[in-house]
Structure 1
Amino acid sequence: MLTISNVSRRFGDKLAVSDVNLEIPQGQMVGIIGRSGAGKSTLLRMINRLTNVSEGAIRFDGVEVSALRGKALRNWQRDCAMIFQQFNLVPRLDVITNVMLGRLNHRSTLLSLLQIFTEAEQLRALQALERLDIAQTATQWAQTLSGGQQQRVAIARALMQAPRMILADEPIASLDPRNAKIVMDSLHAINREQGLTVITNLHTLDTARAYCGRIIGMAAGRVVFDGTPEQLTTDVARQLYGAEGLEDAFSEAMTSTSIEPARRPTAKPRELADAL
């Protein structure tokens, strides 16, 4: 259980997040929606502890993660994997090394500095890439991949952390509709098959309705809606986005059945590992 109690965040005189209270059970897939500046990204960054809370507390499994320091904080950021809109890959490293960087918090400082990875870690990285249909890119430089492929590499890196929760901050904002669908399908499959809690910020209502069993709406730093996709009515959407922003909040591209799934690679992880 993730519990957020009376959490606020101030940046100078600006109140970015105001008195948020949420309980998110293990295994939910939650979409957070709202206009730009509503506080969505700040909330996710506070959960991951990239940003500290100004008031209130965040707890996971009874542990107050908003108070962690040092090694305990690093362990939390390992258990609470973060996926960003900008991918945050190392462009001049190959794909498999970028994925294996997700193991750094599980390893000794010396091995981490030397970037020495075991055969088991290489195989695990290839399995993560295979799951996301991009194992064939393992030896390519990350900078040669498309945006959609890079985001899937970022998801594979998050899986290498063996997380207990995945946070995704606008993971499809910079992707075309086809790649956006592939990325959201991947996150949904991880949630469904592994039982991992997935919390993702999203711009469009249709995407949230299609993939998330629970939707949280934010406006001016506050939670103003918390319910199921069926409860997300046009009136609620108008409250979140305003009449002028309502049209932009809807997009049918993500739920289009005309988009074909990505082609699965023919090589298996063990065969690719032998070729590296």
Structure 2
Amino acid sequence: MLRLDKLTRRFGDTTAVHAASLDIPDGQMVGIIGRSGAGKSTLLRLLNRLVDPSEGHITYGDTDVAALKGRELRAWRSDCAMIFQQFNLVGRLDVLTNVLTGRLHEMPPWRAMAQVFTPRERAFAIRALDRLGMAHTALQRAETLSGGQQQRVAIARALVQEPRILLADEPIASLDPLNARIVMDALRDINRRDGITVICNLHTLDTARQYCDRIIGMQAGRIVFDGTPDLLTTQMAREIYGAEADAAFDETATSTALAPSAARQRVPA
């Protein structure tokens, strides 16, 4: 279980995350929603230790995540893989090599520096790409792919890390409706089939309601909602999003394509 206890992160006079406390069981798919600046991305970066907490604790089982350093911290970042909105691929490298970088933490330094991969590692990466429907692009330069294709390659790279937790920071925000659906279907499949905990920041409400077991709402760095999708009323959602509520409810760019029938449903206020 991943546990947050009064987790806080300050940037100068600004508190990006304020005393966040959560217990996330293994194998759960969690969506984090909230307006821009609510602290969603900072929360995920705290979990991955891309930023350090100002106060509070992060534990996973018996591991004090906030105290990890050096090799142990690198191992945690492998166990807690991260997918970004910007994909973070190396455009000049081919797709297969981009995916194989997810194994660098397991390699001796000389192999990592020289990018020398074994046949077994290459086969493992091809299987990950095939699962995402991207094996046919293995030898293409990453920069030649569409945004949706690049995001699927990024997911394959995360998969070869063999993570226990998968963090996704706005994974579909820059994608067209069809690719958004493909990416969300892939994340849900990973969660269901592999039992990997998936925690993703999502912009639209219907996407979170459709795909996630649990929704966490953030406002000004604080957790203001934590429950199942059926408990997230329209009134509560409007309170979470405030001035951005209309944009959050204007989901024709994603949710209609994700699930036309679900997009027409609304949880009563």
Task: Give the TM-score normalised by the residue count of structure 2.
Answer: 0.94
- What is the DSSP-based 3-state SS (H/G/I as helix, E as strand, rest coil) of the residue aligned with 2:35? coil
* Alpha-carbon displacement from aligned partner over 1:29-60 (angstroms, at most 9, x marks no partner): 00000000000000000000000000000001
Q: How far does residue 238 in structure 1 lie from its aligned partner after superposition?
A: 1.1
Q: Does residue 1:119 correspond to 2:119, yes or no?
A: yes
1:70 is the counterpart of 2:64? no
Q: Distance in 2 between matches of 1:62 and 1:138?
A: 39
1:176-187 → structure 2 map (5 Å cutoff): 176-187=176-187
Per-residue CA distance 1:137-156 (angstroms, 9 max, x = gap): 00100000000000000000
Correspondence for 2:248: 249
* Structure 2: tracts of 5 or more residues without a match: 261-269
> Which residue in the other structure is 2:48 paired with?
48
Matching residue of 1:209: 209
Deviations 1:125-144 (A, max 9, x none): 11000000111100100000
Q: Is the 8 Å Cα contact of residues 177 and 258 (structure 2) preserved in structure 1?
A: no
Question: How big is the alpha-carbon RMSD for the aligned residues of Structure 1 and Structure 2?
Answer: 1.1
8 Å CA contact 2:31–2:199 kept in 1: the answer is yes
SS at match of 1:89: coil
Matched residue, 1:107: 107
Deviation at 1:62, TM superposition (A): 1.8
CA distance in 1, matches of 2:26, 2:256: 26
Paired letter, 2:244: G
1:272 paired residue number = none
Identity percentage over the alignment? 62
Structure 1 counterpart of 2:255, one-letter code? M
- What is the TM-score normalised by the length of structure 1? 0.92
Distance 2:258 2:102 in 1: 33
Relative distance call for 1:206 and 1:257 in structure 2 (3 A) is closer
Contact 2:216 2:223 in 1 (8 A): yes
1:247, CA displacement in angstroms?
2.0
Q: Structure 1 73/257 Cα, relative in aligned 2: closer, same or farther at 3 Å? A: closer
Pairing of 1:28-177 with structure 2 (within 5 A) = 28-177=28-177
3-state DSSP class of the match of 2:86?
Answer: coil
SS of match in other structure, 1:10: strand
- State how far apart, in whole Å, the 1-side matches of 2:126 and 2:69 are: 33
Mapped to 2, the partners of 1:209 and 1:92 lie a distance apart of: 37
Post-superposition offset of 1:255 = 5.0
Instruction: Give the aligned residue type for 1:17.
Output: V
| Contact kept? 1:207, 1:255, Cα under 8 Å | no
Partner of 2:15: 15
Alpha-carbon shift at residue 248 of structure 1 (Å): 1.0
Paired residue secondary structure (2:56): strand
1:226-245 mapped onto 2 (5 Å cutoff): 226-242=226-242, 244-245=243-244
Give the gaps of 5 or more residues in structure 1. 260-276
Please give the alpha-carbon distance, in whole angstroms, between the structure 2 residues aligned to 1:173 and 1:28: 22
Distance 1:229 1:255, change over 3 A: farther
Q: How many residues align?
A: 258
**Structure 1 segments of 4 or more deviating over 2 A?**
252-259
Amino acid at match of 2:234: T
**Contact persistence 2:33–2:215 (CA under 8 A):** yes
Distance 1:255 1:208 in 2: 13
- C-alpha contact (below 8 Å) 1:168/1:201 kept by paired residues: yes
2:31 counterpart letter in structure 1: G
